[in-house]
Amino acid sequence: MKIKLIGTLIVFVLVNFGYSGDVEGKITFDGKAPKMKPLRMDADPVCVANSDIKPRKEWLVLDENYGVKNVLVFIKESKSGSFADNYDSPKEVAILDQNGCVYVPHVLGVMVGQQLDILNSDGTLHNIHALPKVNKEFNKAMPRSKKQMSVTFDKVEAPFKVKCDVHPWMGAFVGVFEHPYFAVTDDSGSYTISGLAPGKYVVEAWHEKLGSKTADLTVDDSGATQNFTFTKPKKK
């Protein structure tokens, strides 16, 4: 009798929770890549001293195979019904650091209600100016003595810019989601979105300069693969 009950329980768990898989892919750039010029930080000697290497502009970062870093890839829509009734805000804290007078990471995603800690690893004044259109805008100074401030966002929002009014070359982008199915491409342009249940979805890849691309995606028990190729936008 105990064996039958255990077997029934296992079947019940599998039926109710199903399987999930990883969505993987790579983002590449097709065309002549512009050179990323070095950032001019001479206005603040602390920034120059804190940089181990001379930072370059980050609006298009490619590896040797033209893989695109800093692309935010996310599930835009489910065609098989809702993802779930709701998702709890993760306990894991997201981090946006000011290190070497650049934002690290340059692009990130957070969930609604998730704590985002903004750090000041530089011994100089920064000014955090977030420019959302849906969530509340904020503009707060971080003197050298203030090492951390924490914020949360209450509403879903497409990626918006965060800048430093003291150092105009500094910029980052934050996207806010109601679900955990998003990722940012790494140095090689690769990404992985984990834990997505089998079904039909729309996936979107967003880049700050190259725009957005979407694709229909079918996820089975083994997951799915979706690649994207971007080209330089034509001048209008």
pLDDT tens profile 191-216: 999 999 999 999 999 999 999 999 99
203-206, long-range: CB < 8 A, 24+ apart = 203/23, 203/73, 203/74, 203/75, 203/76, 204/73, 204/74, 204/75, 204/76, 205/27, 205/71, 205/72, 205/73, 205/230, 206/71, 206/72, 206/73, 206/74, 206/158, 206/159, 206/175
pLDDT digits (tens, 9 = 90+) for 150-163: 999 999 999 999 99
**Is residue 100 within 8 Å of 48, Cβ to Cβ?**
no
- Which pLDDT value is given to residue 2? 43
The tokens for 116 are 């985002």
Mean pLDDT, the chain, integer: 88
Model confidence at 13, pLDDT cuts 50, 70, 90, reads very low
pLDDT digits (tens, 9 = 90+) for 32-74: 988 888 888 888 888 888 766 678 889 999 999 999 999 999 9
User: Given a cut of 60, is residue 121 above it in pLDDT?
Assistant: yes
**Mean pLDDT, rounded, for 21-40:** 92
State the amino acid at position 119 in one-letter form: L
How far is 5 from 32, CA to CA, in rounded Å?
A: 63
The tokens for 28 are 């590449």
**Is residue 192 within 8 Å of 164, Cβ to Cβ?**
no
| Domains in the chain, CATH or no CATH each | 19-230 (2.60.40.420)
The tokens for 24 are 């993987």
**Is residue 73 within 8 Å of 25, Cβ to Cβ?**
yes
